[in-house]
Chains A and B, each alone.
Chain A
Amino acid sequence: DAGVIQSPRHEVTEMGQEVTLRCKPISGHDYLFWYRQTMMRGLELLIYFNNNVPIDDSGMPEDRFSAKMPNASFSTLKIQPSEPRDSAVYFCASSLLLTYEQYFGPGTRLTVT
């Protein structure tokens, strides 16, 4: 089975533009997580879903960030409008159960100029 798939792998955009990151979890996994990784703040959990329902979005930095999971095989993380401080690597991960190991995608490196 394929692992977690993320697209795009790299995104460069200008401040103020809308950015959409995509994720396809491992088939059969009920949990999907979005993380952000920066040098300054390390690995931060932004939001996670269970069976397509957002459970904890306390890590979402502000209203410019939104995440959706319309079905079991697809999720998006949207930033609108983007700002330079949003530059980071964004990871998507999935797991069978919340207390099980997570499998991470390759990440999307976002650069906002």
Chain B
Amino acid sequence: AQKVTQAQTEISVVEKEDVTLDCVYETRDTTYYLFWYKQPPSGELVFLIRRNSFDEQNEISGRYSWNFQKSTSSFNFTITASQVVDSAVYFCALINSGGSNYKLTFGKGTLLTVNP
């Protein structure tokens, strides 16, 4: 079975704090893709990053960084020096690539509130 778990339902931090959003996944496939999306209060979902299962290199984009560890089946997302504009719901997603039977799974999301 394929599953994405975002155990943190809500996180609240004060501006300039670092915050890490956890994502743990389950899949039997060796080839798969992981994603993070952001849903700000305006409601639209915005793509942040895509990572394939063969690329465990961590990625940094400005204040955002992602830590992909196959050994623990985790794809965590860290925001450094958080800002109020980072307040949003963040979704982790997984799509496998096992033959012709693709399966797309979203986590339940983590609501991040950054307070001034």
Contacts and interface: CB of A to CB of B under 8 A. Distances in A.
A99 B33 contact: yes
B45 interface: yes
A89 B43 CA distance: 9
A93 B37 CA distance: 13
Interface stretch (B60-68, B71-79, B104-112): B104-112
Given A42-B109, A43-B106, A45-B104, A104 B50 contact: no
Nearest to B96: A99
B43 A106 contact: yes
Range, interface on chain A: 10 to 19
Contact of A91 (B45, B47, B95): B45
A45 B102 contact: no
B23 to A, nearest CB: 14
Interface string A79-113: 00000000001010100001111111111000000
A70 B46 CA distance: 27
B33 A107 contact: no
A106 B108 contact: no
Nearest to B49: A101
B2 to A, nearest CB: 12
Interface of B: 33, 35, 37, 43-47, 50, 52, 91, 95, 97, 102, 104, 106, 108-109
29 contacts: A33-B104, A43-B91, A43-B109, A45-B104, A48-B104, A56-B102, A89-B43, A91-B45, A93-B45, A98-B102, A99-B52, A99-B95, A99-B97, A99-B102, A100-B50, A101-B35, A101-B47, A101-B50, A102-B47, A103-B47, A104-B37, A104-B44, A104-B45, A104-B46, A105-B44, A106-B43, A106-B44, A107-B43, A107-B44
